[in-house]
Every structure is written in structure tokens, then in C-alpha cells.
Homo-oligomer: A and B are copies of this chain.
Amino acid sequence: MLSKSQISLLRSLQNKKDRTQQSLFLVEGLKSVIEFIHSAYQIGAIYHTASFDPKVLKLSQKINLTEISVTDMEKVSSLKTPQQIAALIKIPVWPALDNTRLKQKFSLVLDGIQDPGNMGTIIRTADWFGMQHVICSEDTVDVYNPKVVQASMGSLSRINVRYGDLTSILPKIGLPVYGAMLDGENIYDIDFGQEGLIVMGNEGSGLRPDISKLISKAVTIPRKGNAESLNVAIATALFCSEIVRKSFK
């Protein structure tokens, strides 16, 4: 059973302003909830409908479980088809980025990604390819947006996502900076080596000029057909695949 004010709080988390104020976000669906339970994230509460048996969760830690009506779940859900379970989760306070943790690996940098579906898919893809860090410009879509959380399919629980001013962050990291650009080197010819940053630009406008300046190697995905561009999550995946494919040969 949820009070009116609880419903109102949970609903409000669909807006970034309220998520930031409350330092809370909602994760919906069994698969994602389980992945967050097994992560470093702090679970504030779990809400489930009567048809869901909480034993399925095999909880070892003490988490506040609340049975709520289907109607209430519909009220607080951001989904067209609400799930049987949702978790209220604390937005962590990330410590300052320690650049030494980015050495000897590849990380993603997102410059103004706007679409939540793309953002979530990028996080899921990063997780598939073993990347742990995603560094975002301040105007990149909020990673705790319900659609991002949904599209990330639980991977968000494992990926470190930071926001900041890329023009000051990138030079300090001191790694090769690869960027998807026109007239770059053919992605299929590049030896990416052991470490670096992959910078992906905004869906419509690509990389900002002041970010482009920081690219040490411009990379192009060659086109065989006629589409004007690739979706940014697709382009990100092609970078990830080219980087890791060596290790699977």
C-alpha cells in the first residue's frame, strides 16, 4: 500500500530535477532489479504487486519490501506495460575520477548524446564489451532517466558513469583519444593498442568543435551503401567490436 505522497514522490522521479533533489531513481522489472540488488548500489525499497513472490529475489540483505496494488504500480511506472516489481535506488555520489583507473583499458566518452534509448543501449553495449567507464558531457541525457535505465537492461548497475566538462577532463587523462569523424582513418585498419578513449558525438550534430580539437586520431566507419549516417549506439558498438576483436582471434 502506498500513500498519496509516496506515489507522488515515485512518479516525480521521472523528472531529472526531482531525481537530483531526492538522489533517488526507480528501476523497473525483475531482471534489472536483480542486477541492481547484486551491485554496489544502495536499494531504498522494493515494490511489488501481489502476483509477484519476493522469494524469487533470494534477498540476503535487509531490504524494505512493500506489496502494492496493480493500480499503484501503474501510477508510479514510466512504462506502458508496468512490471510486477520496481526498486527505489539511491543515486551514488561518485568520487572524483581517478585517471589511473582508465589506464590499460578503453573507456567511452559521450559528447551530448540526447536520446535515452541510445544512451541505455550504449551502456549495455559497453558492459557487453567489458568497458567499465563512461564519461559524459554535462548536457548528455541523464543516465538515471527511466528510459535509459530500461534500455540499459541492468548493465547500468555495473558501469561507472560520470558527468563533467569534457574539455577539461580529456586532456588530463593522457590517453589516445579516438573520435568518430568524417575523413578519418578507416576503422578496420587501425591498431587501437591497449588503452584509449572513444569519443562519440551528438545524434544530430556530431562532435562539438572544442571536443574535435582534443581528438588524437579521427576514425571513420566506411560506408558501403547509402544511409547518410549510422545511429550513435551502432557506431559505438562497431568501435567496441574493433577494439576487442583481436583478443578473440
Q: Please report A residues at the B interface, Cβ cutoff 8 Å.
A: 31, 117, 121, 124-131, 151, 153-155, 158, 186, 188-189, 221-231, 233-234, 237-238, 241, 244-245, 247-249
Contact = CB atoms under 8 A, between A and B. Distances in A.
Instruction: Give the number of copies in the complex.
Output: 2
Most buried by B among A223, A227, A228: A227
A147 to B, nearest CB: 11
B117 A230 contact: no
24 contacts: A31-B228, A117-B117, A124-B230, A124-B234, A127-B226, A128-B224, A128-B226, A128-B229, A128-B230, A129-B223, A130-B223, A130-B224, A130-B225, A131-B225, A153-B228, A153-B229, A154-B227, A155-B226, A155-B227, A188-B249, A222-B244, A224-B244, A224-B247, A224-B248
B188 A245 contact: yes
